Chain A
Amino acid sequence: MEDSALEPLFVFIAYSVSTIQRSFNALPGSAVIVRYVKSSHQNDPFRTILEAILVIFAIRTLLQSRTRSDTTGRHFIKFTANEIDELVDEWSPEPLVPSLNEAELADLASVPVTVGPPGPKPKLQSTGKTAINLASYNFAGLSGNDKVKDRAVSVLRNYGLGSCGPPGFYGTNDIHLDLERDIANFLGTEAAIIYSQGFSTISSVIPAFSKRGDIVIADRGASRSLRSTVRWYDHNDLNSLEEVMQSVAKEIKTKRWRLTRRFIVTEGIFENDGAMSDLPKLVELGRKYKYRLILDESFSFGTVGRTGRGLTELYNVPANQIDLIVGSLANTLAGCGGFCAGSRIAVNHQRINGTSFVFSAAMPGMLAMAASEGIQILTSTPSILSNLHTNIFTLRSILDKIDCITIPSHPASAIIHIQLRDPIEPAGNGLPTTARAVSRRPSNPTSLVPRDLVVFDIGAEEKLLQEVVDEALAQGILITRARRLRGQEALEPRPSIKIAASAAVSKKDTEKAASILKGILTKVLGKK
């Protein structure tokens, strides 16, 4: 859309350039003449007016074509007015949305509602009791931080709440500027830009850079809608990435594509399973094959590394080697929104081309302040993250020993996904479970279908996992299934339970929760 909106301008530019080029070539100093002509249009020669009218005409037709209907096409059928009336009467649309099935209704009913703040021990509306919170993304325990609250009140009394305007039109205030600088300093990049929702950040960043004809290679575990040429590599398998890059290089050579922008898109810690990317290798591959790297650190920023700077800190890779780092301010930092950090040029480019930056109101200053303060607290108090890491370790040391589950998450990941060890076969469709076995054939980079397709019965697995979640809640532990959009994702992820470790939960509670979980998991999943 954005392209088509710009199209008139492009054609306009192309047109005017070509018409004026001739005179340009003839007269080296023509710019001066044009200025002269413009300022004294009364005595300008007829030709200029003629050209101007032509340009106007070209724009008119172009602008009109946006809404013009195509009644001349090959497939157009001419109807009389009566026939159209009949067709209109006959037509009956499908319902706007199909009504929910039983499983979905159950899904909806099982959403936990907390009363009061989502701290380490929130009270639940359904039971009226408190539970140990292993569901909220309160990784660093900043939710309800008193210092942040105090400053929030002072921001409220000076700035109000809403920004009442997009960043371009007086929506940006000094708190936003400070936050952008804080993020850039924290990560060690030249600049950063903030978006008002974490989730929408990456889906605005990618289209801002990758235009038609550009090549994007993305991890299969990080599926998003893209309109460039997309190739997929196997989830978190960098050999597969290299193979895909080689095949693209070959394609470029044989088809003689012009040089276009090339991107690798992947996540630091994958939201879908908690696996972690091998950053140094990614950077190396990017360098070798001349790809730019877009890294979504929504779940690694603020959770890994000594002070929570994310993968760059963990692997000791300078942040300026990654072209665009995208992250969330809503998870660890207990604010709201997301950011994209990178070179000054890349960031400024988004200020004009990032759709959800340009066309959305700036985030409330108070929440931006919370994120700034969060960064400040993380930097000055490294013990927070070491507590988090201890808790992750505690959880893993107990959960890893359970037989009937697998945990695809990286040991350092603060979100821990629990899947059934043996997939439940879909009833009756006769697909063999051997699909799980590793096949040696490389996967097809143009399709989302992975190499090792696991076949599973989503409904049955989710039901079982929900049983675990319900039982856990009954015993005072708040966890949740990873909620997914079934039927809308190009690739269905395996159902899982998602546990979020938190520095705010004491080591003792974490241990207790893990042991209780162990009992429940063995009981519920072991019996089948």
Chain B
Amino acid sequence: MTQPSSVFDDSDVADGTGLIIPLQPPSSAQVFHTVHSEFGHCDNQLQRHTSRHPLGVPLERTEEQDPPYYILITTYLSFVFFICLGHLRDFLGKRWNPELYSHLIPSDGYAAFSSDFDSFYTRRLKSRLDDCFSRPVTGVPGRTIILLDRVSPDYNATFHLTGKHIRGLNVSSYNYLGFAQTQGGCADAVETSIGRYGLSSMGGRMEGGTTDLHVQAEALVSRFVGHEDSIIGSMGFATNSTTIPALVGKGSLVISDEYNHASIRYGVRVSGAQVRMFKHNNMEDLENLLREVISQGQPKTHRPWKKILLVVEGLYSMEGTLVNLPAVVALKQKYKFYLYVDEAHSIGALGPHGRGVCDYFGVNPRSIDILMGTFTKSFGAAGGYIAGPKPLIAALRIRTHAGSYAEAMSPVVLTQVIASMGSIMGVADSPKHLEVSSSASTSTIQANGLRDGSEGRERLRRLAFNVRYLSRGLKKLGFITYGHEDSPVIPMLLFNPGKMLLFSRLMLEWKVPIVVVVVAYPATPLVTSRVRFCLSASHVKTDVDMLLRACDEIGDLLDLKHGHVKERWTVDKIIDNALQIAKDASFS
């Protein structure tokens, strides 16, 4: 393991980048509690915003802009080219260099471990881009992140660490509220908890792995999301993949958004229920589908469905779109399906109180049957939760595989959850009847700013400002972005697969290194390769400025500006008018 000293050894970082030392001198008490490189110092109260959808206004569908035809055609051609070249290389390679292909060829009576057909995409397309994926890091994934520099001597077949560290601006981690920190109230709470509980629960929830912290955290989560009860699992993926089978089975139907996360699809497949998909976030398509499936009943027998479960995500992490919750809830009233909302990315990151899409749209959380979420994102922890009515949660405790067989969540992770969530809620003056949960969080959280919720509110408002500023700024520069302007995930379209590699590299080698995530098929449709910016409350305005400048420069170089806006602005004009851009109700 890297020794602490080397993690913080920033002697080789050029000055004036703003990564370690704030460009504007800090004037706040933050200096004493936080480190600028992991949670930026920003005292300017103007650079704040509240994330909220105006009540009663229907959510507009965000139209997705298409690029010019030559971009589309070159994109397809690149794929055709890569595929042909790949087949040619396979064809020749198997004859000239068979030992390199031994794992793809049956040998000694064993079939190949993975067939060359299955692995073609990985070997011949993804491997060309491997430089942008799975880059190892060290230290805290906060406002900045430290990459372990690596080189590949053999065209990405293997990588070797050079031992060099590169600190860059982190717009990749799901650290929406900036709780990935080594200092501050949450970290202090976790340290206390390490001393008291150790690191592991040593067993399943039903078999001795339940500690008082689990009970407290579940009480807190249900209060936070606004439902009666909740259950916490040690992995977000497994929370989905084991809960859905406990809810539906043969004779039931799951209606799933076409872009739902892999964990949801896994859960649905295991459950044995029928599944139908509707076009991403398209409410007409959903209603048509509902009318069809309810009137037709089960296939062949036409028996009525036992139940229908609609599974949607609050915020789609690849698209940046928000579910049209008010419309879904209205449909639910009419069509009587059960509603399961996966708030993995939206919980903590959206809404005036950070309580997810319900909070954002002003929808009563109790009108949703099941709220699922994860702690891996906004709360800087791990694991996931399911919240819902008491009898339902009680049943899930007994009936999910994860409830009975999976390890319980680690006490230190629970502490991080309690401390971070409690600090957004403010637990200093909780009403009497909520004593169980509040006493836990009050004793967990020592720092005052955390206890009264003031620091949590600051985080929410900083995030909301950063997000609007960047997403509107990128549009103004002329880029094609997807998704909602209040989404902390902002996908920006690159299209050509080759540009992914270039964009990622150029950003990393820009004046101030910027660490970005690029995603491509199969996580996105084939043509719409993209870069995905994840903003955080830990970023300050100058970080976003920097990001815009880098995108502007590299975007010109790579010919990425194909969006249609009323009037393109220069990057300087955008930076100068940041407040107007972020705060105008309808800026375009």
B416→A162 contact, CB < 8 A: yes
B203→A162 contact, CB < 8 A: no
B window 157-208: CB within 8 A of A: 170, 172-175, 179-183, 186-187, 190-191, 194-208
Q: Please, which residues of chain A bring their CB within 8 A of the CB of B212? A: 113-116, 125
Question: Beyond A157-B4, A200-B237, is A162–B380 a contact (Cβ under 8 Å)?
Answer: yes
A427 adjacent to chain B (CB < 8 Å): no
Question: Beyond A114-B208, A154-B4, A364-B413, is A173–B136 a contact (Cβ under 8 Å)?
Answer: yes
B398→A108 contact, CB < 8 A: yes
B401→A485 contact, CB < 8 A: yes
- CA gap between A514 and B204 in the complex, in Å: 23
For B200, the closest partner residue in chain A by CB is: A334
Q: Please, which residues of chain A bring their CB within 8 A of the CB of B88? A: 24, 31
Which has the most chain A C-beta neighbours within 10 Å: B119, B194, B300, B369? B194
A336→B410 contact, CB < 8 A: yes
- CA gap between A328 and B407 in the complex, in Å: 9
* Minimum C-beta distance from B243 to chain A (A): 10
A160→B234 contact, CB < 8 A: no
For B208, the closest partner residue in chain A by CB is: A135
A13→B120 contact, CB < 8 A: yes
A156→B381 contact, CB < 8 A: no
B294→A91 contact, CB < 8 A: yes
A161 adjacent to chain B (CB < 8 Å): yes
Question: Beyond A112-B210, A366-B412, is A145–B247 a contact (Cβ under 8 Å)?
Answer: no
Question: Beyond A41-B74, A197-B234, is A211–B187 a contact (Cβ under 8 Å)?
Answer: no
A148→B198 contact, CB < 8 A: yes
Question: Beyond A10-B117, A116-B196, A136-B203, is A16–B84 a contact (Cβ under 8 Å)?
Answer: yes
A250 adjacent to chain B (CB < 8 Å): no
Which has the most chain A C-beta neighbours within 10 Å: B80, B241, B269, B334? B80
B136→A174 contact, CB < 8 A: yes
Among the 9-residue stretches A99-107, A274-282, A384-392, A431-439, the one with 4 or more Cβ atoms under 8 Å from chain B is A99-107
B265 adjacent to chain A (CB < 8 Å): yes
Given contacts A117-B198, A161-B412, 6 further A-B contacts (CB under 8 A): A69-B276, A87-B294, A115-B212, A170-B172, A485-B404, A500-B203
B195→A88 contact, CB < 8 A: no
Number of A-B contacts (CB under 8 A): 450
Counting chain B residues whose Cβ lies within 8 A of the other chain, the interface size class is 35 or more
A290→B108 contact, CB < 8 A: yes
Q: Please, which residues of chain A bring their CB within 8 A of the CB of B83? A: 13, 16-17
A9→B399 contact, CB < 8 A: no
- CA gap between A31 and B214 in the complex, in Å: 60
* Minimum C-beta distance from B89 to chain A (A): 9
For B415, the closest partner residue in chain A by CB is: A161
A149→B195 contact, CB < 8 A: yes
**A120-137, CB under 8 A of B: which get 1 and which 0?**
000001000000010111
Q: Which 4 A-B pairs have the closest CB atoms?
A: A135-B208, A199-B406, A144-B198, A197-B235
* Minimum C-beta distance from A4 to chain B (A): 9
Q: Please, which residues of chain B bring their CB within 8 A of the CB of A346? A: 113
Question: Beyond A6-B522, A334-B198, is A360–B134 a contact (Cβ under 8 Å)?
Answer: no
- CA gap between A119 and B179 in the complex, in Å: 29
Q: Please, which residues of chain B bring their CB within 8 A of the CB of A59? A: 526
Question: Beyond A162-B381, A260-B111, A367-B199, is A38–B81 a contact (Cβ under 8 Å)?
Answer: yes
Q: Please, which residues of chain A bring their CB within 8 A of the CB of B397? A: 108, 111
**A139-161, CB under 8 A of B: which get 1 and which 0?**
00011110011001111111111
Question: Beyond A108-B394, A200-B237, is A161–B111 a contact (Cβ under 8 Å)?
Answer: no
